[in-house]
Structure 1
Amino acid sequence: MRKYEGVFVFKPELDEEQRNQAFDRIKEAIESNGKILEIADWGKRKLAYEINYIKEGYYYIVNFEATPESITEIERRSRISDAIIRYMVVKKDA
């Protein structure tokens, strides 16, 4: 298992329940083949640049351990979710 860090940016207009449901799907994908080490809820922040006329986003930073094969499932779920504006998963150095 390798260590990864994921950044997930959600649409700012979502209410807390909708955002939690979408984030739970991402957490399920991580926990199916790994474990979550830490979740940082950064809250609503201004984006560095506009994305489809959206100027703010709700940020979650997740540190986790997982197999390399499970990263494709995490990214697939992030890509098809309408609630997520942007996401990035990177491998942390040992």
Structure 2
Amino acid sequence: MRKYETVFVIRPEMEDDKYAEVIEKYKALIENNGGEITNIDKWGKRRLAYEIDHMREGFYVVVKFSAEPKTAEELDRVYKISDEIIRHIIVREDD
């Protein structure tokens, strides 16, 4: 398994309890595809570097996990089709 880090930005207009549901959704996706979460860091609402779809802030979450490349590909695919995610990145960490 390889080590990955993903950062995703959730739409800011959601209620606080909805953020936990979204984070749990992606945590479950990683674990159900054979991945192992090592750390979840919730940065909270922060100002974006530039406006995205008329939004000036977003809820940032950083997740570190170990998984097979197929899991990272599936996570990327789901990020792209999700309405609640406005930006994301998945980076493979050096071993």
Q: Which runs of 5+ in 2 are unaligned?
A: none
Cα distance, 1:10 vs structure 2:
0.4
> 2:30 aligned with 1:30, yes or no?
yes
Query: Under a length normalisation based on structure 2, what TM-score does the superposition of the two structures give?
Result: 0.93
Q: After TM superposition, where is structure 1 displaced by more than 6 Å over at least 4 residues in a row?
A: none
Q: Which residue of 1 aligns with 2:21?
A: 21
Q: Retained in 2: the 8 A contact 1:22–1:81?
A: no
Give, in whole Å, the separation in 1 of the partners of 2:49 and 2:80: 20
Give, in whole Å, the separation in 2 of the partners of 1:58 and 1:47: 10
Describe the superposition over 1:57-85 as per-residue Cα deviations: whole angstroms up to 9, x where unpaired: 10000010010011111112211211111
Superposition pairs of residues 12-91 of structure 1, within 5 angstroms? 12-32=12-32, 33-91=34-92
Q: Retained in 2: the 8 A contact 1:34–1:66?
A: yes
Query: Under a length normalisation based on structure 1, what TM-score does the superposition of the two structures give?
Result: 0.94
Instruction: Give me the CA root mean square deviation.
Output: 1.0
Aligned to 2:12, the other structure's residue is in SS state: coil
Q: Retained in 2: the 8 A contact 1:7–1:62?
A: yes
Give, in whole Å, the separation in 2 of the partners of 1:71 and 1:53: 29
- Kindly tell me the number of residue pairs found equivalent between the two proteins: 94
